[in-house]
Amino acid sequence: MPTLAIVLLLTSAFMHALWNLILKQSEVKYVAMNWQVLLGGAAAIVAIFFVGLPPRSMWLFAGLSTILEMLYFLLLMYAYTDHDFSLIYPIARGAAPALLAVWAALFLHEIPTTGGLFGILLIVVGMGFIGATSLLQNHENKPHLKGIFLALGVAFIISVYTIVDGTAVKGHPDSALPYALSMFALVPFLTTPVVVHRYGWGAFAQAWREQPWRLMLGGALGVVAYTTALFAYTFAPLNYSEAIREVSVVIGAFFGWKFLGEKMGGYRLAGAAVIFGGIVLIAAFG
């Protein structure tokens, strides 16, 4: 695994966790999320005038990825309506790398080495430790089977749009930025009508009055974080890349402990150690 790719993916994970911290501190999370999507999309449209559109060969991938991003957004919204963040998020982000390893083997012929495969498994297991901590701390609500299936559905969509994006940009580092910008420019047109229908324009206005700078920062982080990951996808194996990028779960747990007063706990520390071991294995043998 190239060192530069690991650095880029860990940087992307850090920014993604920071984006989630901003989102978690918002009162109406889906309005805040869509504000960030809108602001990121507006910035992407402006940037496209300077960097141009991706090659025509990528347009189909970009369109398909945009639809998948919308489905991800809607399913996540539905999952969080009746189920806890502590149930959905760890399962969704933890299962995605395992599913992606299958898609990468089938469609990109990326067969992990023995050490790399153990590294992916360690990362998935480590995220399971962190997810288990959140569930064990939630004594009031027991996890529902429906919630687990919804989380796995979210993981499935994450793995599919990642394989679509990875396939599109593989071997084309100069096109990664235009490709990412085209997706960010399109997604708000699909998500905004849904959120406005549910919450109304008044909720959008209130969210903007309360935290404009947070929303702008979140929008910027969302664009830069995924663009950074896409650039790593252009030259690094996708199966390893997605596993490393999901370290954002660990960083997010640390942010929750440091800034939100959440308990870190022995399980989370153990999970972080296991994930670190997985990254070392991928770096050395992947």
pLDDT in tens, 102-151: 999 999 999 988 898 998 888 888 877 776 665 555 555 555 677 778 88
Q: CA-CA distance, 10 to 3, in Å (whole number)?
A: 11
| pLDDT score for 144 | 63
| pLDDT score for 126 | 82
pTM of the complete model: 0.85
For residues 48-63, give the mean pLDDT: 95
Checking if the pLDDT of 180 tops 90, the result is yes
Token readout for 45 is 């449209």
DSSP assignments along 118-151, one per residue: HHHHHHHHHHHHHHHHHHHH--SSPPPHHHHHHH
Q: CA–CA distance from 18 to each of 5, 70, 126, 251, 264 (Å)?
A: 20, 22, 20, 8, 17
| pLDDT score for 52 | 95
| pLDDT score for 265 | 65
Token readout for 44 is 């992407």
Rg (CA), the chain: 18
Helices (H), the chain: 3-24, 29-51, 59-82, 85-107, 114-137, 145-169, 176-199, 201-210, 212-233, 238-245, 248-259, 265-285
| pLDDT score for 24 | 72
| pLDDT score for 142 | 54
pLDDT in tens, 244-260: 887 887 787 778 777 87
| pLDDT score for 105 | 92
Using the structure block, give the residue that is written with the tokens 């940009």: 169
| pLDDT score for 242 | 87
pLDDT in tens, 260-286: 776 666 777 777 788 888 888 888 887
Checking if the pLDDT of 34 tops 70, the result is yes
Q: Which of 57-66, 89-98, 273-282 has the highest mean pLDDT?
A: 57-66
| pLDDT score for 276 | 80
| pLDDT score for 169 | 95
Closest CA to 1 of 240, 176, 229, 245: 240
